[in-house]
Structure 1
Amino acid sequence: MADFDPQPGRAASEVAELSATQREADEAELYAGLRKVAGIVAGAQGVIDLLGDVAEFAVQAIPGADGVGVSLVDPWHDKPTVQTWAATAILVHEIDTAQYDELNEGPCITCMESRRPTVSGSLGSDSRWPHFGGRAARMRVHSALALPLIVGDQVIGSINAYAKNRDAFGDHAVQLGSQFARPAAISVYNAQLLASAQERTIRLQRALDSRAVIDQAIGIIRSRSGGTADEAFERLAQISQGENVKLHAVAQRLVEEAVRRAVARHR
């Protein structure tokens, strides 16, 4: 029996007892999706492209899913926000956007709060989300399976599967979806870490380059004025404030002018 939060008051049931052949086919689809997730190499593609692949692999791995979205938590706000970064269909993106941006309720939000898979077999009558459920039902989406993406003790997002049929996700789908979500979470998390490290490296390199140009500009001013380094820096700062131009840009301009004059003299 899969461990998940079902829809209150609605009996969890499969549409029909799955045959051994169907179960084997579903498990083969899951393992194919897992192999593809395992083959994702962080850094070989951007985070957005990686999330798109995860969504596509999830559709393959989760029985009954008509569309899947991958949402991530952005912790860098006063209140953490959730946003869908990849979806296999426009309809999925619209449904998830309604959850986060308009209604602040839905299976994705619930699964991240409970840290457990969340299932609904009839969204229009699901008492947990009176506003979201009706919105999804009017869009002819009746079933949902939300799987939290957890790394260690941190919830980093969720995989949200939707289906037009009612009761599309039973124990079997939850079990396979959960098996897929665990390694998918690690792949996404590693890609985020690498992207963050690369961004910090770029910022540091820019800062070092900026510092080098400013030091060159200070040297040029000192050679002309005979003043101290502090006096030269103060002169740069005055120009920057007076022209409302960044200090680095002022220094770069001064260095380039000095280079042009030196080249002209040699000619």
Structure 2
Amino acid sequence: MSIEQDFRTALGSLSGLLMTSQPLETTLTRVAGFAVTAIPGADGVGLTLIEAGQPDTIVASTNFVRVVDEVQYRLREGPCLQAVADRRTQICGSLGGESRWPRFGPRAGRLGVHSALSLPLLVTDRVVGALNVYAHEQDAFTASAVRLGELFAEPAAVAVANAQVLAQTQRLAAQLESALTNRATIDQAIGIVMSRSGASAQEAFDVLRERSQRDHVKLADVARRLVEDAMRRARHRR
């Protein structure tokens, strides 16, 4: 299969991914796999996401990619971080002698990685991460490979952003469900305290809160234990 056919196949697969609602890590893993096929010269690809201002390699097509990325994060320099900061493609064909990253470059070279192509993942006015492509050979990425990488990065950024939104929505839904469950449990516990002591609703809530503070336990956990204890007692009386 020719380079153009490889690229078209990978791009078609990526386009199909835009229409799915898969988990974040599944989406990123597939994007990385498609990128290895789409970008000539690639020996490994990783996807870095920016979470709370910090980079994190979420998926990597092969283990050495994760190792190289971790070196960048530790030294706070390298093509991935530069691509995110500048919002521009970063390319290097001889990392061992790269003056832009004097600490990272030699270390990458000693790991047997000599070429890097880092592509920022841009969605409207924000950077969601970077697509990092590495090769063992020097000067592995031609101008054509860079162009194909940039073309691939555009829909890849959309796929990643969509997956992030889905993951965030699922987290918020889970948090809301948990909050509603906790509220119901606390209300039950208040009712139990009221029935046992004749206290008002506010007084019963204060009892639970004081127990929470005294025992250094979350209020919801105090309430849940009280409700579970009341249920056990009720079963034993049957």
Question: What range is the shorter-chain TM-score in?
Answer: over 0.9
1:89 aligns with 2:66: no
Percent sequence identity over matched residues?
Answer: 49
Give deviations 1:225-256, integer Å, cap 9, x for gaps: 22211111111122223333222122112222
The alpha-carbon deviation at position 43 of structure 1 amounts to 3.6
CA separation in 1, counterparts of 2:224 and 2:162? Answer: 37
1:135 aligns with 2:107: yes
Number of equivalences: 237
Counterpart of 1:33 in structure 2 is: 10
Counterpart of 2:25 in structure 1 is: 48
Counterpart of 1:104 in structure 2 is: 76
- 190-199 or 244-253, larger mean C-alpha shift: 244-253
SS state at 1:148 partner? strand
1:183 aligns with 2:155: yes
The residue correspondences of 1:95-174 to structure 2 (distance < 5 A) are 95-101=68-74, 103-174=75-146
CA separation in 2, counterparts of 1:69 and 1:222? Answer: 57
Residues 52 and 86 of structure 1 are in contact (CA less than 8 Å); yes or no, is this contact kept in structure 2? Answer: yes
Unaligned 5+ segments in structure 2 are none
CA separation in 2, counterparts of 1:129 and 1:117? Answer: 15
CA separation in 1, counterparts of 2:127 and 2:20? Answer: 19
Letter of the 2:66 counterpart? H
2:189 to 181, 204, 217: 217
1:255 to 222, 227, 233: 227
SS state at 1:130 partner? coil
RMSD: 1.6
1:67 to 20, 44, 48: 44
Q: Tell me the TM-score normalised to structure 2 length.
A: 0.93
CA separation in 2, counterparts of 1:181 and 1:226? Answer: 65
Residues 145 and 160 of structure 1 are in contact (CA less than 8 Å); yes or no, is this contact kept in structure 2? Answer: yes
- 164-173 or 54-63, larger mean C-alpha shift: 164-173
CA separation in 1, counterparts of 2:115 and 2:195? Answer: 74
CA separation in 2, counterparts of 1:142 and 1:221? Answer: 69
Q: Tell me the TM-score normalised to structure 1 length.
A: 0.84
CA separation in 1, counterparts of 2:2 and 2:153? Answer: 19
The alpha-carbon deviation at position 42 of structure 1 amounts to 4.9
Residues 42 and 194 of structure 1 are in contact (CA less than 8 Å); yes or no, is this contact kept in structure 2? Answer: no
Residues 42 and 190 of structure 1 are in contact (CA less than 8 Å); yes or no, is this contact kept in structure 2? Answer: no
Letter of the 2:58 counterpart? W
The residue correspondences of 1:187-266 to structure 2 (distance < 5 A) are 187-265=159-237
The alpha-carbon deviation at position 161 of structure 1 amounts to 0.8
Unaligned 5+ segments in structure 1 are 1-23
Give deviations 1:158-215, integer Å, cap 9, x for gaps: 1111112221111110111111111011111111111111111111111111111111
